[in-house]
Amino acid sequence: MTDNRDLQHLIEELKKDKDFAGNVKHYKVLEGKEAVYASFPPGLHPSLEKALAVKGIGRLYSHQRTAFDLASAGSSFTAVTPTASGKSLCYHLPVLQSVLDDPASRALYLFPTKALAQDQLADLHELIEASGETVLSYTYDGDTAPGLRTKVRKSGNIVLTNPDMLHSGILPHHTKWVSLFENLKYIVIDELHTYKGVFGTHVAHVLRRLQRICAYYGSHPVFICTSATIANPKQLAESLTNTRMELIADNGAPAGRKHFLFYNPPVVHETFGIRRSAVLEVRDIAARLYRESVQTIIFAKSRVRVEMLVTYMKELTKKKLMDETIMGYRGGYLPSERRKIERGLRDGTIKTVVSTNALELGIDIGQLQACVMTGYPGNIASALQQAGRAGRRQDDALIIYVAQSMPLDQYIIENPGYLLGGSPEEAHIHPDNIMILMDHLRCASFELPFSLDDRYAEFDVQQLLEFLASEGVLVLAGDQWHWMTERFPASEVSLRSASQENVVIIDRSRPKETTVIGEMDRYSAMTLLHEEAIYLHQGTQYQVEMLDWEEKKAYVTEVDVDYFTDANLAVELKVISEDKLEERPEGTAAFGDLAVLAIPTIFKKIRFDSHDNIGSGPIRLPAEELHTASTWLSFDVPEGWTEAALTDAMTGAAHAMQSFIPLFVQCDRTDVHVVPQVKAVHTGKPTFFIYDSYPGGIGLSEKMFGQWEALLQQAAQHVSGCDCKSGCPVCTGPPESALDMKAGAESLLKDLAGGERLVL
Amino acid sequence: MSYEKNLMKMKSMLKKAEPGSKPDTAPRTVKKAPAPDYEDEWLAEGLEKETNRYGTVYKKVVDYPEDYMHGNYQLTELTAALQKWRLAEEAHPLAPDPGKRLLFFDTETTGLKGTGTLIFLIGLIEQHGSGFRLTQYLLPGPAHEAAFLYATGLWERPVTLVMYNGKSFDLPQLATRWTMNRTVLPPLPEHDAIDLLHGSRRIWKDELESFKLPAVEETQLGFIREDDMPGHMAPIIYQDAVKNGRAGYLMPILKHNEDDILSLVTLYIRSTDLVLQEELSGTAVSQTNIGKWYKDLKSHSRATAVLERVIEEYGTQHPTTHFHFGFLLKKEKRIEEAIQAFGVCMTKSAGRERILAIEELAKLYEHQVKDCTKALQLSGIAIGLLARDRSLTKPFSLRMKDSFEKREMRLKRKLFPGQAQKPTK
């Protein structure tokens, strides 16, 4: 089936089906919009016009034209480009134009991953070939053959790479790239929204270093950024690049009508509020769509889930020989395999694809008719990207959101307006983080000595350089700070990890093939990589056999068990400075610096489905100290509460609050911690602390400082709305014993949130 | 954790300009830096001062008399070596361009890679009068880099530089430093490079375990270092000298660099002797390596002469020689002799070489001798060996097995037309 009427018909059928419709909590329709076109810009090179004609493009969408005009005028800009809106022409056209005007021109494209760069290279090659011109474009990453590297450096008009390669492979060797840096006209940053949090902060500094090198060689490139829908694209881009940006927010691409179904699996365990597995529900829904011949993409959060769903779905085709109408798609597949799947999706031979968020990003698979989301991907931007995969141009699209039992998932089910309301989260970076700043100041000093009157981007760093000299890293000679150690600082700074000194995770399941499978910051490692911990890596379970804390190595072997481990961390908090203080109805809110002293105590083994505690053991590790930013809220002991009752209530409330912080700032649940103290040393009162998990803080708790009331309300509403009886993993956390966690937490939260009775 | 604590304190000191404001971007000009305040100490150690238009540099010049010995060799044997190259007229990686100055060259650096790594010592030795002259240029501090690079004269005209691992280390570093000073210095011309590490690897493959220069010195040059300062200490010592002006510790680095360069001269003499000699010297292994080197360079007559000499001397003791010789013979269409050579390997060689020799034999029998029965028999032997020989790597075994099975099938089709079928699975 291919046309709108059939999809409409299917939706009607679904609505009539009692088993199905009973679980659909909401049905929402987003109306489509017509395309807005613009003519080709007058100066457009005839070869580009020809190339576009070959691809069947006779005019541009309005945003592509605006992009071309801004770039030609030398203005940096950020374009908000939902899925399938022709974003790559926003940068290909001005970049190719500059090369055709002046063959010496160079451009640098940055993609968050190697795979994306390779995908985009294929796209770019196609366009160049259609133009009949010679423009040299290459990817430059760890996979680039040594023989090709010199050629890329010396003559690549367009170099596609990733931030990590720029950081450690290009900038510290800038003398090999003189002709690139002298002639760099454009820096393209695709998938801007992925540069957030600690990673984004690192990348912000890599870009500052890049601009410093460009200035040294006398070039002043224009930035072109493209982003998925987030609340603050312009601000993020400006902060990331330290450059003033124009914003292209109105997209000219057409969109069809989108039908959203919000589906909540039935409750199967009353006490714990556990619902039927979303994976099984998705399987049934997708099977139905498959039988109706609706081309569908299914999103699942982990590789394992993808494989599970593919296995289930393939049951549908097992009787047909060589059938490839159902495929999985995730990281770890070979590039050739991925190309084949992408082709199959475009030409329609694949009916159903099950994917991780790998397909959220700008890989060209054409548009499908339906999208099924297994759970909430964690933020609105991702959810919208996933939903955007469905809907061909003017056609209707069906999006089915299947909730899991998790708090955020359930929140979305109750509040579909949050997802569809058009106010996605803000993405933040924090270039001021002193630890990250210092890491990159070292790298910058290595690349090019600072003079006594130099600044580093927007920072006045002379005192910091003096500090580095006192540490023996720099030496002042003449009027410059020169690098004076044998170290190579870029190799000591990883953009993707949370802390300077990480624990390396080594898989030794096969004695002859020990491999490093990942790394983790020290702080998280204490609770996730202690001995006997079950560590989940891309869906595979590993048991930690030995943790060498001195050497920062965790040795793991693959296992297959039916439990996970959960460690307890005893946390001591010490306020170092109190920078802001405000009296509010909900209590006294403060913001400042915090020293966190953490000691892991014991771990528990918890069975997967039942969440039974099936064993425990001690953890013997030294205490770790973390200096970070924090906000805290203290309040008077409410009347009639015993200390014990308050402790339980605060523990439950903290659990609920932690789940909802991602609603306010775009981050992972583990990027911030919420710690309750019934009598905090600093305030002498019951206090909730929220602190950033990263040394120095990355601006998350600073954002939360102004949002305490909203957070409390959100948590209160969620706890009281939860279907469980006396607290569950979904609301107040895994129940410690037979205690009723729920009533206390609920009452405390409501009390603090202003005593308003919210929905019941 | 004190580092983190210190940094948290510095947070308050971090001053920011308006967001979006850019630092001053004017390209830098290099000012002529004054001599360092530790100059007297450096001069006291016997260094000479040289000033040029970019600033100051210190150097040490040593002259070696005609009969100076370094290990087993006299430096002046170089003259004979160069004469041999002239007579040989051989386009060999070790052959110098007679039209260019020949300099033996070695650097010491503050690190291993990247633009933050400085070269702080450049040593050059060349023939001077009837003896040799070594000049070592020492960087007084980072501010004097332009003066230091300029003083070496490497910008004047293209020369031939003889180095140890210089192609991948010293020369790229030199290019990087030159680029960092490119606005003031005259451009660096493209120099010829002779890399004795590459040469040593070719000559002594399977004979030396380590190709670190001291190991080669001990086994090939008869030179044993005394009180050598380990190379990896050099950066630390130099940094200390710049930070504190202490020159005393620098002298062992200069000594280390001097030994390196003297060894370059004698290693060049030794390598030339082995590569260009008229009669047999050296071991069967190194001579075979040299023969194979000529073969890879497409210098077939020299390759043939060297390999024949080894075979004459060692007979079938060293089957690898026959292996390489076999390919030469095959190229010259001396089929019977080639079969004989690979036949030696089939019985005497082991592992990978034996399999490859059998493959060559099978090819020769199939395509040249047109004896498919023999070729088929050989394939069978090879497949048997591939299944048994544990010393072979897995990818090699699989690839060869596949290739022999295809050969077998083809041969069977030729031998029994119309009967051969795909093997049933």
Q: Do A485 and B110 touch (CB under 8 A)?
A: yes
Both B241 and B355 in one domain: the answer is no
Both B245 and B379 in one domain: the answer is no
Both B177 and B246 in one domain: the answer is yes
Both B201 and B220 in one domain: the answer is yes
Residue B7 lies in a domain: no
The yes-or-no verdict on residue A499 having pLDDT over 60 is: no
In SS3 terms, B358-381 reads as HHHHHHHHHHHHCCHHHHHHHHHH
Alpha carbons A543 and A529: distance in angstroms, whole number: 9
Domain ranges of chain A: 4-31+255-420, 37-248, 434-488, 573-599+625-752
Q: What is the pLDDT of residue A419?
A: 85
Q: Do B116 and A455 touch (CB under 8 A)?
A: no
Residue bearing the bigger pLDDT, B282 or A156: A156
Q: Do A175 and B115 touch (CB under 8 A)?
A: yes
Alpha carbons A95 and A460: distance in angstroms, whole number: 33
Q: Does A432 touch chain B (CB under 8 A)?
A: yes
Q: Does A472 touch chain B (CB under 8 A)?
A: yes
Both B174 and B89 in one domain: the answer is yes
Out of A78-82, A515-519, B190-194, least confident range: A515-519
Q: Which of B20, B113, B182 has its CB closest to that of A242?
A: B20
Q: What is the pLDDT of residue A135?
A: 96
Residue A440: which residues within 8 A CB-CB, separation 6 or more?
Answer: A202, A205, A206, A208, A209, A493
Chain B environment of A455 (Cβ under 8 Å): 17, 23-24
As a whole number, mean pLDDT of residues A374-385 equals 84
Token pair belonging to A320: 């047909």
Alpha carbons A402 and A413: distance in angstroms, whole number: 9
Both B265 and B119 in one domain: the answer is yes
Q: Is the dihedral angle over the CA atoms B75, B81, B83, B86 positive or is it negative?
A: negative
Q: What is the pLDDT of residue A757?
A: 40
Task: Tell me which range, A265-279, A586-600, B105-119, is most confidently predicted by mean pLDDT.
Answer: B105-119
The yes-or-no verdict on residue B329 having pLDDT over 50 is: yes
Three-class SS state of A698? coil
Under 8 Å between Cβ of B160 and B97 = yes
Q: Does A445 touch chain B (CB under 8 A)?
A: yes
Both B232 and B130 in one domain: the answer is yes
Chain A environment of B116 (Cβ under 8 Å): 172, 445-447, 483, 488-489
Chain B residue closest in CA terms to A242: B20
Residue bearing the bigger pLDDT, B295 or A1: B295
- Give the total number of structural domains in chain B: 2
Displacement of CA A529 from its chain's centroid (Å): 23
Q: Do B142 and A472 touch (CB under 8 A)?
A: no
Both B90 and B231 in one domain: the answer is yes
- Which of 2-21 (B) contact A at CB < 8 A? 4-8, 10-11, 13-21
User: Each residue of A693-703: pLDDT tens digit?
Assistant: 887 788 889 88
Give the pLDDT band of residue A736 (cuts 50, 70, 90).
low
Q: Which residue, of B211, B241, B276, is where some domain finishes?
A: B276
Q: Does A477 touch chain B (CB under 8 A)?
A: yes
Q: Do A464 and B14 touch (CB under 8 A)?
A: yes
Alpha carbons A280 and A404: distance in angstroms, whole number: 11
Alpha carbons A36 and A373: distance in angstroms, whole number: 30
Helix, strand, coil share of chain B (percent; to 5): 50, 15, 35
Q: Which of A667, A560, A648 is nearest to A608 (CA)?
A: A560
Amino acid letter, B294 = Y
Tell me which residue has tokens 């601009």.
Answer: A211
Tell me which residue has tokens 């003791």.
Answer: B317
Measured in angstroms, the CA of B28 and the nearest CA of chain A are apart by 8
User: Each residue of A221-241: pLDDT tens digit?
Assistant: 999 999 988 889 999 999 999
As a whole number, mean pLDDT of residues B136-158 equals 95
In SS3 terms, A134-150 reads as CCCEEECCCCCCHHHHH
The yes-or-no verdict on residue A220 having pLDDT over 80 is: yes
Q: Does B37 touch chain A (CB under 8 A)?
A: no
Token pair belonging to B44: 């006291």
Out of A198-212, A742-756, B104-118, least confident range: A742-756
Give the pLDDT band of residue A639 (cuts 50, 70, 90).
confident
Chain A residue closest in CA terms to B244: A475
Q: What is the pLDDT of residue A1?
A: 45
- Which of 149-208 (B) contact A at CB < 8 A? 175-176, 179-180, 182
User: Each residue of A519-566: pLDDT tens digit?
Assistant: 777 777 888 899 999 887 645 678 999 999 888 889 999 888 888 788
The yes-or-no verdict on residue B420 having pLDDT over 60 is: no
User: Each residue of A5-29: pLDDT tens digit?
Assistant: 678 888 888 888 888 888 999 999 9
- Which of 581-600 (A) contact B at CB < 8 A? 593
| Helix H or strand E encompassing B135 | strand B131-138
Amino acid letter, A759 = V
Q: Does A625 touch chain B (CB under 8 A)?
A: yes
Token pair belonging to B318: 């060293």
Residue B18 lies in a domain: no
Q: What is the pLDDT of residue A722?
A: 76
User: At B364, which CATH number?
Assistant: 1.25.40.10
User: Each residue of B351-370: pLDDT tens digit?
Assistant: 999 999 999 999 999 999 99
The yes-or-no verdict on residue A270 having pLDDT over 60 is: yes
Both B94 and B163 in one domain: the answer is yes
Q: Which of B7, B115, B142 has its CB closest to that of A172?
A: B115
Out of A93-97, A232-236, A429-433, B84-88, least confident range: A429-433
Buried b (16+ CB within 10 A) or exposed e, A501-532: ebbbbbbbeeeeeeeebbbbbbbebbbbbbbb
Both B261 and B343 in one domain: the answer is no
Chain B environment of A479 (Cβ under 8 Å): 31
Amino acid letter, A599 = I
Residue B25 lies in a domain: no
Beta bridge partners of A624: A598
* Size of the A and B interface in Cβ pairs below 8 Å: 152
Under 8 Å between Cβ of A427 and A225 = no
Give the pLDDT band of residue B14 (cuts 50, 70, 90).
confident
Q: Does B230 touch chain A (CB under 8 A)?
A: no
Token pair belonging to A675: 């710690």
Q: Does A149 touch chain B (CB under 8 A)?
A: no
DSSP for A242-297, written as a single string:
TS--EEE----S-B--EEEEEE-PPEEETTTTEEPPHHHHHHHHHHHHHHTT--EE
Q: Which domain holds residue B316?
A: 284-415
The topology under which CATH files domain A573-599+625-752 is Gyrase A; domain 2 (3.30.1360)
Both B272 and B318 in one domain: the answer is no
Q: Does B53 touch chain A (CB under 8 A)?
A: no
Superfamily per CATH, domain A4-31+255-420: P-loop containing nucleotide triphosphate hydrolases (3.40.50.300)
Residue A708: which residues within 8 A CB-CB, separation 6 or more?
Answer: A584, A586, A587, A589, A631, A633
Q: Do B16 and A239 touch (CB under 8 A)?
A: no
As a whole number, mean pLDDT of residues A103-125 equals 90
Measured in angstroms, the CA of B389 and the nearest CA of chain A are apart by 20
As a whole number, mean pLDDT of residues B182-198 equals 96
Give the pLDDT band of residue A386 (cuts 50, 70, 90).
confident
The residue among B10, B28, B109, B115 with the most chain A CBs within 10 A of its CB, best to mutate, is B115
- Whether the full predicted model's pTM is greater than 0.90, yes or no, is no
Q: Does A181 touch chain B (CB under 8 A)?
A: no
Q: Which of A454, A458, A489 has its CB closest to that of B21?
A: A458
Calculate the alpha carbon distances from A124 to A50, A130, A684, B89 in Å.
15, 10, 62, 50
- The rounded mean pLDDT for chain B is 90
CATH class of A37-248: alpha beta
User: Each residue of B269-297: pLDDT tens digit?
Assistant: 999 999 998 776 778 999 999 999 999 99
Q: What is the pLDDT of residue A564?
A: 79
Q: Which of B8, B16, B31 has its CB closest to that of A627?
A: B8
- Which of 645-704 (A) contact B at CB < 8 A? 695-696
User: Each residue of A429-458: pLDDT tens digit?
Assistant: 889 888 889 999 999 999 999 999 999 999
Q: Does B395 touch chain A (CB under 8 A)?
A: no
Domains A4-31+255-420 and A573-599+625-752 alike in fold: no
Q: Do B23 and A448 touch (CB under 8 A)?
A: no
Buried b (16+ CB within 10 A) or exposed e, B73-98: bbbbbbeebbebbeeeeeebebbbee
Alpha carbons A690 and A692: distance in angstroms, whole number: 7
Out of A158-167, A645-654, B126-135, B204-213, least confident range: A645-654
Both B326 and B241 in one domain: the answer is no
The yes-or-no verdict on residue A174 having pLDDT over 90 is: yes
Q: Which residue, of B233, B257, B276, is where some domain finishes?
A: B276
Q: Do B22 and A242 touch (CB under 8 A)?
A: yes
User: At B178, which CATH number?
Assistant: 3.30.420.10
User: Each residue of A121-146: pLDDT tens digit?
Assistant: 988 999 999 999 999 999 999 888 88
Buried b (16+ CB within 10 A) or exposed e, A618-649: ebebeebbbbbbbbbbbbeeeeebeeeebbbb
The yes-or-no verdict on residue B135 having pLDDT over 50 is: yes
Residue B118 lies in a domain: yes
Q: Indicate the DSSP class of residue A670.
A: G
Give the pLDDT band of residue B371 (cuts 50, 70, 90).
very high
Under 8 Å between Cβ of A153 and A177 = yes
Alpha carbons A453 and B300: distance in angstroms, whole number: 64
Residue B34 lies in a domain: no
Q: Do A457 and B22 touch (CB under 8 A)?
A: yes
Q: What is the pLDDT of residue A760?
A: 33
User: Each residue of A454-477: pLDDT tens digit?
Assistant: 999 999 999 999 999 998 899 998
Q: Does A491 touch chain B (CB under 8 A)?
A: no
φ, ψ dihedrals at A399, nearest 5°:
-125, 125
Under 8 Å between Cβ of B261 and B104 = yes
Displacement of CA A195 from its chain's centroid (Å): 8
Q: Which of B19, B113, B243 has its CB closest to that of A242?
A: B19
Beta bridge partners of B107: B122
Q: Which residue, of B260, B276, B292, is where some domain finishes?
A: B276
User: Each residue of A65-91: pLDDT tens digit?
Assistant: 999 999 999 999 999 988 778 889 999
